[in-house]
Structure 1
Amino acid sequence: MAGHRSSMPQRGEVTGYLLKLIRESVPLTQEQLAAHLDVDRVTVQSWESGRRPFTAVPFGQAVAIRQRLGRLGANTKLLAALDDAAEADLILAALLRDEADRSPIAEQPLGWSVLTHRLTDLILWSVLGQTPTFIRSIPIPRRRGPVANAPILSADERRAFFVRLRELAERSAFEREPDVLLHRQACFLAGMDPTGASASWLAEGTTRIARRITGFHTWSPLWPDIRSMVTSLANQGDPEPLRDFITRAHPDDACERAALNYSAYWVGEIPYRHRNDSFMPTALGDWRGVVLFRHLVDRLTIGHPFVDLNVHNLWALLMARRGLTHDDLATGQTLADRCATLLDSDQLSRQSRQELTSILYSLRADGVTGTGTGR
């Protein structure tokens, strides 16, 4: 039928596993939770395993279940992630369905909104099995017997995930009206490929657009697209395109604002979702930057694939948010230690060394010194 939109496929592994962690945080058995929710144990078991996707539960019922879990004392961080878990399942379902390579790219939810750190973590939970950052600090009870420690995809699905990302990146780039958001987010996720198989096609794509890096006079929609491609290559072991981008693609305040707004959005300091990248170069909002400050300092380590980008963003953040180190003195002291450690290494670009030196002088001028544990 002309104009008919194909029905969305459904998966429930990510949401289901998160529900299990939420239940265990109360703590309750499946039987006990079923009694509280007025359903049978098999229903709870099916939700948690993903066999019966929780994303298929009617909206009103899902809201009621969430409220009931909150009243039972469930962990609030886990509860707050349910929407992102459902979106992760939606993205995975659309990407992995059999006809994904033939369906219109507009039907791919990966291109419907700008990814956040938490949502990306939840997607990669299934693909790589790595525990999302926001879950790592939450105590997980000991379980009996052999149980999965992540909502991991099958080996075939994990391979298909990265193959489909390449297909989406290529299709979105060569459409009559290219879908820049879908393209850049497919490239960004492809950079997480642990096999290294995505590195070659990412490098080819970056080579094609490398000359555009020097052509930036201000922000454009291609700016975040190229940024995603070069960060993907850095994640695959080649930091030079990212270093070149940092040096050449920040010619004015609009690009610096874009870097900060996007980073603040990524870590959740901007609390609402954006549907495209146009928010990036706008005036800095009312976010303070404390969460972003901690996020960047935590990742200011030798060997981190984005260490040069983290240095630059920290330098720009401290320029834009004066007094931030006094808002979180402990993180400021950690920053001083890590600056000293990094400056002793030979794994930074020249620009990163200059910016780290500037940060260190600024910290000392503000009376913030390290703890002496950085060296």
Structure 2
Amino acid sequence: MAVSSRRAANTTLTGRSPGRQPRQGAVTGHLFKVIREHVPRTQDELAEALGVDKTTVQGWESARRPLTSTQAGNLRAVSRTLLRLGAPSLMLTLLNEAVDADAVITHALSGPPSPTLSHHPLSGWVFTRDTTHMLAWALNGTPPAALPAPNQRSRRGPSRSSPLLDPSDQRAFYDHMRRAAELADHSGESGALLRRQALYLCSYDTAPDTRAWLADMRRHSPGIRSGWTPHWADTRSVAASLTRHGDREALYAFIRNGMGDETGEVANLNYWAYWLGIDQLPRPDDTFMINRSDTAWDGLALLRRLADRLAPDLGCIDLNAHTVWALLASRRGLLTADPHLNRLLVDRVAVLLDSSAISSQTRRELESVHYGLTLHI
């Protein structure tokens, strides 16, 4: 398979100028700044509270002195001080996700992927939505969904609104990920997790050839006929990635085939529970999705999270709607568990039924959902 990366003659295989070192810790540093502003404290005030000089705080926030290179014990002490000063607990837990995102970025910008694919950070564990959104924050500037709005009152003068990578670093990141996905593609099942996660990150690439590249990678996948196969999660991710580029046919096919039996439905629900943070156990690979002992997660919590994803303008709306249908079908008690949520779902399902954004299968499933919900209002 040919590598589609576009590189100038005077750059390395990563698209970077020779001798240039990637900026480490940019996501963690920017999140640290957002947390400081949310408290709020000035750099001087926070430096005093932490017992460090102002230049240290400045270095952390700018990534000139990466917070990610701070000893683990010191980072925990910093987090506890921020908590005592009033930082929201959720924002502090996101520091771990930011550290993971920075590890992926630093690896990608340090050189071409190693043939030893197990050394790649995307081979080590299944990423969650929060980690993926931290990466997207650096790739396209979109703030993570879990991050509260920044406190503007503490800002003085112009300030970066995101840890957005410069264009050359973005290109180098995507070139690395494409090459990693292509190498993993030739490694069979041993490279499945890397291939899937690298492919999904490549979907954020706005280059003109991204849709064609994703479609080509889809053709190299064996695909699935029904239920779970070792390529189930990969097929799901590629289908979701293509929706970001306006192609929904792959998603429709996945819903028909990938969730054509109970095993596929269980895999989808387990994946959603993990992706949205309901299941908080770390996962080394995708096989947890078909483990029925892993379905003990809180169904009501998952339904609440999914309710926020029932919007006609979302590319994966058909997958989101099907998942709500499958969850309610598998756990009937959820129809009466929360009357307020029930009414919210009735309203959002009605909006979808009045729209033209859903497939005929999704419409049939949502009509069933709407009927079941209205019986319990």
State if a TM-score over 0.5 links the two structures: yes
Deviation at 1:197, TM superposition (A): 3.0
Identity among equivalent positions (%) equals 39
Deviation at 1:330, TM superposition (A): 2.8
Contact 2:300 2:337 survives alignment (8 Å): yes
- Corresponding residue of 2:362: 352
Contact 1:234 1:305 survives alignment (8 Å): yes
Per-residue CA deviation, residues 332-356 of structure 1 (Å, 9 max, x unaligned), is 2222122222222223212101110
- Corresponding residue of 1:65: 78
Contact 2:185 2:195 survives alignment (8 Å): yes
Task: Report the Cα distance in structure 2 between the residues aligned to 1:177 and 1:353, rounded to whole angstroms.
Answer: 36
- Corresponding residue of 1:262: 271
Contact 2:31 2:95 survives alignment (8 Å): yes
Task: Report the Cα distance in structure 2 between the residues aligned to 1:151 and 1:10, rounded to whole angstroms.
Answer: 11
- Corresponding residue of 1:317: 327
Moved over 6 A (4+): none
Identify the range of structure 1 (347-356 vs 125-134) with the bigger mean alpha-carbon deviation. 347-356
Deviation at 1:141, TM superposition (A): 3.3
In the superposition, the TM-score normalised over structure 2's length comes to: 0.89
Deviation at 1:248, TM superposition (A): 1.4
The residue type equivalent to 1:66 in the other structure is: S
The residue type equivalent to 2:31 in the other structure is: L
- Corresponding residue of 2:223: 212
Deviation at 1:159, TM superposition (A): 1.7
Identify the range of structure 1 (314-323 vs 264-273) with the bigger mean alpha-carbon deviation. 314-323
Per-residue CA deviation, residues 54-104 of structure 1 (Å, 9 max, x unaligned), is 11111111111111221222121111111111111001100111x224563
- Corresponding residue of 1:371: none
Contact 2:40 2:154 survives alignment (8 Å): no
- Corresponding residue of 1:113: 125
Task: Report the Cα distance in structure 1 between the residues aligned to 2:129 and 2:153, rounded to whole angstroms.
Answer: 25
Decide which of 181, 187, 190 is 1:175's aligned counterpart: 187
Instruction: Map residues 76-225 of structure 1 onto 2, 5 A cutoff.
Output: 76-97=89-110, 99-102=111-114, 104-137=116-149, 139-141=151-153, 143-175=155-187, 178-209=190-221, 212-214=223-225, 216=226, 218-225=227-234
Contact 2:29 2:62 survives alignment (8 Å): yes
- Corresponding residue of 2:59: 46
Structure 2 residue ranges without an equivalent (≥5): 1-21
**Corresponding position: 1:274 with 2:273:** no
Identify the range of structure 1 (331-340 vs 125-134) with the bigger mean alpha-carbon deviation. 331-340
In the superposition, the TM-score normalised over structure 1's length comes to: 0.90
The residue type equivalent to 1:119 in the other structure is: T
Task: Report the Cα distance in structure 1 between the residues aligned to 2:297 and 2:188, rounded to whole angstroms.
Answer: 37
Contact 1:191 1:232 survives alignment (8 Å): yes
Task: Report the Cα distance in structure 1 between the residues aligned to 2:228 and 2:328, rounded to whole angstroms.
Answer: 21
The residue type equivalent to 1:338 in the other structure is: R
- Corresponding residue of 1:239: 248
The residue type equivalent to 1:120 in the other structure is: T
Identify the range of structure 1 (329-338 vs 36-45) with the bigger mean alpha-carbon deviation. 329-338
Q: How many matched pairs?
A: 356
C-alpha change, 1:10 and 1:175, in structure 2 (3 Å) is: farther
Deviation at 1:278, TM superposition (A): 1.0
Query: Which SS does the other structure have where 1:133 is aligned?
Result: coil
Query: Which SS does the other structure have where 1:300 is aligned?
Result: coil
Query: Which SS does the other structure have where 1:213 is aligned?
Result: coil
C-alpha change, 1:32 and 1:92, in structure 2 (3 Å) is: same
Query: Which SS does the other structure have where 2:268 is aligned?
Result: helix
C-alpha change, 1:331 and 1:195, in structure 2 (3 Å) is: farther
Contact 1:254 1:282 survives alignment (8 Å): no
Task: Report the Cα distance in structure 2 between the residues aligned to 1:103 and 1:57, rounded to whole angstroms.
Answer: 30
Contact 2:125 2:283 survives alignment (8 Å): yes
Instruction: Map residues 292-303 of structure 1 onto 2, 5 A cutoff.
Output: 292-303=302-313
Task: Report the Cα distance in structure 1 between the residues aligned to 2:153 and 2:331, rounded to whole angstroms.
Answer: 40
The residue type equivalent to 1:194 in the other structure is: T
Identify the range of structure 1 (232-241 vs 70-79) with the bigger mean alpha-carbon deviation. 70-79
Q: Please give the root-mean-square deviation of Cα atoms over the aligned residues, in Å.
A: 2.0
Instruction: Map residues 326-337 of structure 1 onto 2, 5 A cutoff.
Output: 326-337=336-347
Per-residue CA deviation, residues 195-219 of structure 1 (Å, 9 max, x unaligned), is 443111110121333x6322x3x42
C-alpha change, 1:196 and 1:331, in structure 2 (3 Å) is: farther
Query: Which SS does the other structure have where 2:146 is aligned?
Result: helix
